Chain A
Amino acid sequence: MKLLALSLSLLAVAAPFSAPLSAQDQDLGEPLAEGGSVESVTVEGEDTAGPLRGTVTDENDWRDLGIAIPAFATDRDRATAANASGTAALGLEVARVITANLRNNGIFKPTGPDSLPRPPFPQITAPSWGSWSGRGAEMLVHGYVQARDDGRLIVGCYLYDVALRDELVREGWVVRPADWRRAAHKCSDLIYARLTGEDPFFDSRIAYIAETGPKDKRVKQLAVMDSDGANHRFLTLGSATALTPRYSPDYSKLLYLSYVDGNPRIYVYDIGSGSQTLVTQNASPTLAPRWSPDGRHILYSMAVAGNTDIYRVPVTGGRSVRLTDTPGIDIGGSYSPDGSRIVFESDRSGSQQCYIMDADGSNQRRITFFGGRCATPEWSPRGDQIAFTRIAGDFNIAVMSPSGQNLRVLTDGWQDEAPTWAPNGRIIQFFRTTRDAGRSSLWQVDLTGRNERRLPTPVDASDPAWGPIRP
């Protein structure tokens, strides 16, 4: 390489000599060879002039990061509509919500406000380092809650590095009193994003199917909740079975499958008005709905005379476009985040496998060639992974790259299925059915497969769908 560079620079010097042949006709002498550049190359030898170099390797097992989260302070205790006992008590609640959020994803070891002293308001921006460094926490969260005269709340959130005695990040939000939990989620997101480098996901909602009743007469209701299980609401009454909900990218609508008229049909439920409409007027059963990333199209599958294919229809209604036309079942399309490609499931090769096609249905090709079957694929919001249910004896959640490489199985339950991505593309939610009782519940696992946890729901749950981060 160096020789090449050297000879190139020699060429650059030599070039002016050889160029003007016609110069001899004009009684001109040889032009001066100027402009040749001198390149410096690194030469071999004892490296004593430069800095001393070395390597340090982290060989420890993962250590959970200790975070102290004392109660949020307030400048003066005022009554607020958010709770019954004023902003001081609310500050304690906010810190508790943050603690629960951070505890549940396995990276942090948070210490909550109940076992920590409460810092006075002036210390929020100037922590008393000495007292915190003695508690073994590496990071410190401070914050305050203030009630404004118009009734709204101001929540400030600060993250400090105790060892370095340095502020890492701070942010503040103004929220309606009813949204105080969202401020706590925003603060959790701030801490999570700052300390992991990932995008936030706590301030998001989850739709799922709540299941009650005996096995042979199961009642399946559509329900929604915050990412931590709070603010839980049932959207349907349960007289008709509901399945496979999907949040629209702006949270205004919810797609789901309902047997309300006896046939499986896809409905668009408007969260604001509580009304719902059929996606497409058709006698055939429609299944497996998904939004396009821009929220303007809906993918669905329709079974016509035993042949199921994937269709696309505008949200506003109109003509459906058929994207697949092979015999057999093509189902469960999921868009890539840029909307250019679709991953779906097909049994055209004889067993369930995952395929990819362009958004217009062209260029269809199979991507899964490992042992076992591939079902319910969902493309990560970051675009770098596809999550799916891997069926090889048991049902497990697995991820792979969009080319079908780098298969990694993340769970080892008996029946884990229907993965859905957190908005940051780092955590996957799925539902797990136990072998004996047949009870199902929502679970989360991060992309490393190390941190797995159950999401508390009031009743049995299945078919989770994680919405995007809220604005």
Chain B
Amino acid sequence: MAKASFSREERAGLIIAVLLHCALIAVLALQFAFKDTARDPAPRIAVSLATEVGLEATAPAPTAESRAAIAPRLADTSVAQSEAEPEPRDALSEARPRVVAEERPTPRAITREPDETRPQRRPDPRPSAAPRERREASGSLIGDDFLEGQGTSTRTDNTTAPAAKFGAREQAALSSAITRQLRPHWSAPQGVDVEKLVTIVAWDLSQDGTLKGRPRVVSQRGINAANRAQAQRHGELAIRAVQLAAPFNLPEAFYSRWQRLEWEFDRRL
């Protein structure tokens, strides 16, 4: 007789062992659920392919901003899950003694039998823990109201990859490209107080970067009695620098922005 071979103590010990195992499983499951909430999803990075100087947009219709991906509410239970999962759990709960089922703190059980669970457990793990836990199972978490997006903006509904229109950053890059090409050719005349002179030269460029017409001095400032003699030469050398720097090598896509240029020429040590 197998029954007789178990002593009362043994039976009690066995029951306690089973109970304790169940408690251990429950504690581990709960711990796993908490850990998952703490993990944030990685921020999305929008990648746009650009040329070396980063002036030219690759997108055919560039947009400055693009909407961030939005999931207004994360789905509780995906359709696939609700069908597939309950089966084994139900079987389990039937197979287990009643006490075990009562102890189970899993959120699933709560949804099905709200009255059964302990009130103090409920508010905590519930709202976000539930969907996370299910991720391991096959099926999508993304709800029907999920909105696709590639940017970070929350103010626009545009969903194409953000690409440069001619913005402040592109203007700065273009300016420094022009300054870089002018600098080797620009040297101010020598003299007293020439550091105070500033010449503004304007010129027009053709699409291929060559000069259209002769550069002209728009204005000069900082002229005083000591450097008046150098002022004219200052302007002449500024024009010379532009002439020597031409043809300019600039991105053709932004020709409309660099066809007319106005640069200040000065000296500082």
Chain A residues within 8 Å of B, Cβ to Cβ: 48, 50-63, 107, 161, 163-164, 195-199, 382-385, 426, 447-448
Contact = CB atoms under 8 A, between A and B. Distances in A.
A197 B231 contact: yes
Given A52-B174, A164-B243, A384-B225, A59 B269 contact: yes
A63 B192 contact: no
A384 B193 CA distance: 13
Interface stretch (B116-124, B149-157, B254-262): B254-262
Nearest to A106: B190
A199 B230 CA distance: 11
B217 interface: no
A54 B189 contact: no
Given A48-B257, A164-B240, 7 more contacts: A50-B260, A52-B175, A56-B264, A59-B267, A163-B240, A197-B191, A198-B229
B263 A163 contact: no
A54 B226 CA distance: 27
A307 to B, nearest CB: 37
Nearest to A199: B229
B267 A52 contact: no
20 contacts: A50-B262, A51-B260, A51-B262, A52-B262, A53-B263, A53-B264, A54-B178, A55-B266, A58-B265, A62-B190, A63-B187, A161-B240, A163-B240, A164-B240, A164-B244, A196-B230, A197-B230, A197-B234, A198-B229, A448-B190
A312 to B, nearest CB: 27
Contacts of B240: 161, 163-164
Contact of B179 (A51, A56, A60, A107): A56
Nearest to A54: B175
A197 B183 contact: no
B224 to A, nearest CB: 9
Contact of A197 (B179, B233, B260, B261): B233
A53 B191 CA distance: 27
A56 B225 contact: no
Given A164-B244, A384-B225, A53 B232 contact: no
Contacts, number: 102
A52 B191 contact: no
A58 B190 contact: no
Nearest to A63: B187
B202 A51 contact: yes
Nearest to A383: B225
Contacts of A164: 240, 243-244
A195 B268 CA distance: 20
B143 to A, nearest CB: 40
Interchain residue pairs A-B with the least CB separation, the first 6: A51-B260, A197-B233, A54-B175, A55-B264, A58-B267, A384-B225
Interface of B: 166, 171, 174-176, 178-179, 182-183, 186-192, 202, 225-226, 229-234, 240-241, 243-244, 257-258, 260-269
Nearest to B265: A56
Contacts of A63: 187
Given A161-B240, A199-B229, A60 B187 contact: yes
Contacts of B190: 62, 107, 196, 448
Contacts of B269: 59, 61
A196 B233 contact: yes
Contact of B229 (A48, A54, A163, A197): A197
A449 B131 CA distance: 81
A447 B233 contact: no
A232 B229 CA distance: 32
Nearest to A46: B168
A56 B233 contact: no
A164 B246 CA distance: 11
A62 B262 CA distance: 25
Nearest to B187: A58
Given A59-B269, A164-B240, A54 B187 contact: no
Given A164-B240, A197-B191, A58 B260 contact: no
A163 B187 CA distance: 14
Contacts of B183: 56-58
Contacts of A107: 190
Nearest to A168: B236
Nearest to A450: B190
B268 A57 contact: yes
Nearest to B257: A52
A50 B262 CA distance: 9
Contact of B261 (A51, A384, A448): A51
Contacts of B189: 195-197
A75 to B, nearest CB: 32
